[in-house]
Amino acid sequence: MTNALPIRYATLADLETIVSHRRRMFEDMAIAAPQVIADTVPPFRDWLNERLTNGLYTGWLTCTDDGQVVAGAGVWLIDWPAGPMHLGGPMACVMNVFVEPEWRRKGLAEQLMRTVLAWCKERQIRTVDLHASEKGRPIYTHLGFLPTNEMRLRLS
């Protein structure tokens, strides 16, 4: 693991960095054709701009000492109803976890996730959800995340 690098909150000025991280994250996972991924960029940019502005999205960026952003993660707060797996109130949906290729396997994703989880605990958020890539799954399992029974249907 690399020595801990500074982590700062993302601001609206970081919008394009987060948009780029998200696009590159999906490209790395190869879950859709490149054009399909590219088509998601403008609507995501609009979505993120709104949520960074209204406070429903909080982002963190890991930076080198000279300010270069090398990793990031975010949380979208969702008002989720009570049920057997969640007692109600805001649920934190972790998203956009990305580490620049040359900085991978140095503990940055885990460092970011520990920061995210501490932030959630401070706010008494009881449930944290995420969708894990195959490469990311071991980190999340190590941090205590459990697989769920989620399914998805895309309606045309």
pTM, entire model: 0.91
Tokens at 102, concatenated:
């040359």
Strand order in the sheet with 127-130: 7-9, 57-63, 69-80, 89-99, 127-130
Distance in angstroms (rounded) separating the CA atoms of residues 64 and 5: 6
Query: Environment class of residue 53 by beta-carbon count within 10 Å: exposed (0-12), middle (13-18) or buried (19+)?
Result: exposed
Within a domain: 58: yes
Asked, for residue 2, whether it belongs to a domain, the answer is no
Q: Does residue 153 sit within a domain?
A: no
Number of domain units in the chain: 1
pLDDT one-digit tens code per residue, 17-66: 999 999 999 999 998 999 999 999 999 999 999 999 999 999 999 999 99
Report the CATH number at residue 86: 3.40.630.30
Is residue 147, in this structure, part of any structural domain at all? Answer: no
Longest dimension (CA), the chain: 48
Q: pLDDT tens, 78-94?
A: 998 888 878 888 999 99
In a domain, 77, yes or no: yes
Asked whether residue 51 is domain-assigned, the answer is yes
Q: Is residue 61 part of a domain?
A: yes
Distance CA 125, CA 137 (A): 22
Q: Residue 100 belongs to what domain range?
A: 7-142
Angle at 47 between CA 17 and CA 152, to 5 degrees: 105
147 exposure class (CB count in 10 Å sphere: 0-12, 13-18, 19+): exposed
Name which of 99-103, 119-123, 131-135 the model is least confident about: 131-135
Q: For all residues of the chain together, what is the average pLDDT?
A: 94
| In a domain? residue 150 | no
